[in-house]
Amino acid sequence: MTEKRAKQMRRNLRVWSRKGILVALAVILSIVMTFPLFWMVSGSFKSRGEIYKPPPSLLPRDWTTEGYEMLMYYTNFPAWFTNSLLVATVSSIFALLLGLGAIYGVARFKFIGGRAFTYIVLITYMLPPILLVIPLYSFWVRIGLADSLLALALTYVTFTLPFALWMLRSYIETISPEMEEAAMVDGATRFQAFHKITLPQAVPGMIATFIFTFILAWNEYLYALVMISSESKKTVALGIGNLVGVKALFSWGMLNAGGVLATIPILIFFVFLQKRLVAGFSVGALKG
């Protein structure tokens, strides 16, 4: 009896040791991943003198909104924010609608080259943006849409659409086509079956896809740098990036404040859509 108990204790000890190591690794990774965000928020409330004063402090000694005030007074940040919101939303909606239609067609209508199509799309997503930016810019110049938010939003579709296709693929393929076929036997059209049966089940995946394509477009810098020249049409990433080169205005507090404000839309998405986002991941994981 004593020997069995000793074996059980050793077994429990090994299990708890493994769990303890995993928890410790998770805590360390969480700290490493969240520390830059914490440092950015903390730095946005520090004064110029405190930021450069050694040794650096984790929290501001004297809390101030100087960085936010400078950002709003010396820059056109509200316009940058609005432009990014508009461009990211439009490009994500385009990618979501086009990707949903394309991947539904590939999943439901079997045709030669359907699977090859998805891999070709993946290859286009893997192409470096620098290869596409000059041809795309030349195209917009020729049709008179250079330096416009519409051209920038449509340009973003070149990388948000392939990403959306591959994200939506796993969600659509988990939805049984038999339910649609049963509905069509009862008199529903293909569109009605898609609208009433497939679309509601794909909502979690669509939300997850929209969020991540939105993040891709929101953080994009290279295309905006090449295609946008007007100050009033700059995006958040471009506007904040350009602040680094302006010596008369540059301030780490102002830069951190811009980063904090630029992060707010992403945080709002995750806070209010967390349940649907997790549900979307679960559906995709079942297929994967």
Residue 275: the pLDDT is: 64
Alpha carbon 165 to its chain's center:
15
Higher pLDDT pick, 115 / 20: 20
Q: Residue 88: which of 229, 288, 268, 279 has the closest Cα?
A: 268
For residue 235, what pLDDT band results from cuts at 50, 70 and 90? Answer: very high
Domain ranges of the chain: 2-44, 69-287
Distance between CA atoms of 150 and 134, rounded to whole angstroms? 17
Q: Express as a percent the part of the chain with pLDDT over 90.
A: 15
Q: What is the DSSP code string of 94-105?
A: HHHHHHHHHHHH
Report the sign of the C-alpha dihedral through residues 268, 273, 275, 281, in that order: negative
Residue 164 pLDDT > 70: yes
From the options 1.10.3720.10, 3.50.50.60, 3.40.30.10, 1.10.15.40, give the CATH code of 69-287: 1.10.3720.10
Q: What is the DSSP code string of 10-77?
A: HHHHHHHHHHHHHHHHHHHHHHHHHHHHHHHHHHHTS-HHHHHSSSP-SS-SS---HHHHHHHHHS-H
Report angle CA 75, 79, 81 to the nearest 5 degrees. 100
- The pLDDT mean for the chain works out to 82
For residue 209, what pLDDT band results from cuts at 50, 70 and 90? Answer: confident
Predicted structure pTM score: 0.81
